[in-house]
Structure 1
């Protein structure tokens, strides 16, 4: 199935059938929501937030359990999910930017195909970079005072979601040495807390649940958010962090950083792929239409809760939630980049980290 046919078939997701929904009953069952990261990161926070809400809205109110399967920057879990097929509607998979980027870059570890998966819900997110107090004191809205500082960053890998901050720091002329191999962004935060890393970033949910406490305690200094997209596709301040400059603002204020040209467009392309449509919930291939419709209706009911805007803002940030056909569109956006952006990033990965994409 191609992306085009995926989007076309997903249009049917919005056409919910009352009789079909009535036939699906998860009473007494357990839904396993598989997350290909550790239990300490933003994807864990995201799934654990939605799991009890989904349980309340699925027919029969099944228990929804979040199961973690970290490894190889999330490709281990994604490759496993690729081999799964529908059995009884009791399996979900949660993808993230760190799963999408290796797919976009033709990473040889990838044996999964997004065209085979059935998206039922997607949400965007943001990200915040922060520094230790000593180096944070050198940040004045630009990175000029940080260009001669050697910084250390705990990373899951250069071809995953960490690509966005690593490339951002390069464009700012900063010297950031990644220590590769951590299993989740929460592990990167722990490295920062122990003083083993001097710069870190978290997606919005991870920042709100952990790193914000470090800032409040004075042991971390926020630098910038990656930003958000407005309706015209322009990068603006993240609505979850309106008092924090976006990367575009910091870049514009920093000597040598340009907000146009091939490097900027490559960063923006992967930012769009990795953040505005970052986290996606999938059913496995072969899932029947009545099960798909049931999940779409349940997530739609979650989104329609009168308290959803408030509770989601506090837990995962102020970002749109897409359901059914909207989730299929978000999936297409998250798994598509231009050949020019892809070529630039592949060359940069090879030159900077010796990563060769074959």
Structure 2
């Protein structure tokens, strides 16, 4: 990986390109994609939240891009999303017809210096950053043991099974949260998307799960309505001061902080809490991002940035996005670059804590 200084220089260059590219649109010099097909690479299976996010945006992006190209979502799962990301790292910009959708499960291996990572976020050009949340849920019989405010103390003696993409992926956030709550959770590693974890839950092969908001809204809500799943807590959101508050998409659910506060032995201060919060911040407020590959010219960056801004400006966007994605910021331009920066850096103390925890708890050695 390149140094932090070089990464910041690359980030500045990307932001400068996005800003200087904007006038090109006004002058009519946007790239023309008429008659072309844009391939949107998603490094997960077609069952998870990233699939739902990309499939929501794809037809809207097609309408907003010059020439109205067909936007096709291509799924490239493997190695916890590093396979698809490594593939995109080798993509050279050609004509603006290849874009990439990253997620927290792609960012975390990068943050943890996973040896399988051969990609560098500083090389890519961000054109959209989407915030999201996450909801943990249980079968009805186990949810019935929760105390007031989601207190998990009574669940400490239960044996839980969880379908996981891997301990160094976005699943790190729920896995550490459940350990902080004193739960005995045995992960089954190797699923290719969070939707596969939900299917394990539906089949009775897992008895605890979480989904990102888009997947929860579409895939878990029917289970809740049928009585086979009960929401427990949402991880939360950040207020302007950086405090964890309730998720605006799920205002009636307690945040993880609230549940931790009422559960015996769970602390919302100290090294463990600081580590959890650092990776939550890296993984959720800017959890999904869209990139153009290295070498993209100013006009291409500006064209895609403007297209996503036009999508957000649609009169019906708030209505249709809330139902599919939840209530979260959809960021472009300088705001997207700031989100990228926050999603690809964590304090060294938090990284050291998590690295030690992964080794001690799961035997994962990152070298």
After TM superposition, is the score higher than 0.5?
Answer: yes
Instruction: State the partner residue of 2:261.
Output: 252
Answer yes or no: is 1:6 the counterpart of 2:10: yes
For residues 290-320 of structure 1, give each alpha carbon's deviation from its aligned partner in whole angstroms, at most 9, with x where no partner exists.
1111001101111111221111111011000
Counterpart for residue 177 of structure 1: 186
In structure 2, the CA distance between the partners of 1:268 and 1:21, relative to structure 1 (3 Å rule), is farther
SS in 1 for 2:161: strand
Which contiguous aligned blocks of 4+ residues in structure 1 show a shift greater than 6 angstroms?
none
TM-score by length of 2: 0.96
Distance 1:333 1:136 in 2: 34
Q: Give the C-alpha shift of residue 8 in structure 1.
A: 1.9
Check 1:23–1:257 CA distance in 2 against 1; reply closer, same or farther (3 A cut).
closer
Contact in 2 for aligned 1:189/1:200 (Cα 8 Å): yes
Deviations 1:145-188 (A, max 9, x none): 11111000000000000000000001001001000010000000
Contact 1:7/1:325 (<8 A) preserved = no
Where in structure 2 are the equivalents of 1:118-137 lying within 5 Å?
A: 118-137=125-144
Q: Distance in 1 between matches of 2:90 and 2:216?
A: 33
Partner of 2:366: 357
Instruction: Indicate conservation of the 8 Å contact 2:11/2:122, yes or no.
Output: no
Q: Deviations over 1:190-236 (max 9, x none)?
A: 00000000000000000001011101100001110000001110000
Matched with 2:310 is: 301
SS at match of 1:24: coil
- Residues 1:215 and 2:219 aligned together: no
Counterpart of 1:166? 175
Alpha-carbon shift at residue 4 of structure 1 (Å): 1.8
Work out the CA distance in 1 between the residues paired with 2:146 and 2:284: 24
Which of residues 57, 60, 63 in structure 2 aligns to 1:53? 60
Aligned to 1:28: 35
Match of 1:278 among 287, 293, 306: 287
TM-score (norm 1): 0.98
Q: How many residues align?
A: 358
User: d(CA) in 1 for partners of 2:158 and 2:205?
Assistant: 15
Aligned: 1:108 with 2:141: no
1:239 maps to which residue?
248
